[in-house]
Homo-oligomer: A and B are copies of this chain.
Amino acid sequence: MTLGVKEHVADNSRMDILGAAARCFMERGYAATSIDDVARSLGATKGRIYHHFPSKADLFAAVFRAGMDMNYAAVRPYCDLPGPAVKRWRMMAMAHVLQMIDTKAFQRAVWIGVEMHLRGATTPQQRSVLNELIEYRSNYSNQFREVLLAGRDEGVFCFDDLSITNQLMFMTLNSPIFWYTPRVGETRADIEIIARQIVDYAEGGLRGTQGQST
């Protein structure tokens, strides 16, 4: 049941394309990115891309899916942990933020996909593909909704509308995909300091301003 050498080579090539496509989509957006751009950034031509992906929309969908797969993998270890909700939330949030930083290009593509879905995708069958991915992302989001509700039940989090709060929280946790850029000589510890500030801010927002000492 193991894969042969050839399959590994093909899979690696596919992955390389996904990475290059993610960078291109991040740098220029979906519409402004041409298949030739992606190919050029690989030192290849369109033929290579269209050999692995039937269309530009499918390539983009694959990038989207790969990004979400990474997110699931990063957060899943923490979302079934026992103990207080806040602690579990912090683990999940930290993993999520670090994931945003580490796989920024893919996460930007996910963002672009969500935006495209919100304003209504172009063709009909592309819409169904995108809808499936959006639902995939929605399930991911639900993992956080659960822990948010648990935190409110425990009296730690304080918010009114769950949907709005979830939006605000993800907006915060996702934000580094827009403004983070790696600095020269930056260590893992530096990145974790940044991530901690983001998580702290989000936690403050979720706890609200009631019961504040100052």
Binding site for B on A (CB under 8 A): 26-32, 115, 118-119, 155-156, 159-161, 164-165, 167-168, 171-172, 175, 178-179, 194, 197-198, 200-209, 211-214
Check B29–A197 contact: CB distance below 8 A.
no
A84: min CB distance to chain B, Å: 11
Binding site secondary structure of chain A: helix
- Are A156 and B213 within 8 A (Cβ)? no
Q: Which B residues are in CB contact (< 8 Å) with A29?
A: 29-31, 115
Contact (A159, B201) CB under 8 Å given A175-B167, A175-B171, A179-B167: yes
A205 touches B172 (CB 8 A): yes
Task: Say whether B205 contacts A212, CB under 8 Å.
Answer: no
Please tell me if the beta carbons of B204 and A206 are within 8 angstroms of each other in the complex.
yes
Choose one: B26, B119, B205, B213; the contact of A211 (CB below 8 Å): B213
Q: Which residues of B contact A30 (CB under 8 A)?
A: 29, 32
> How far apart sit A213 and B207, CA to CA, in the bound complex (Å)?
10
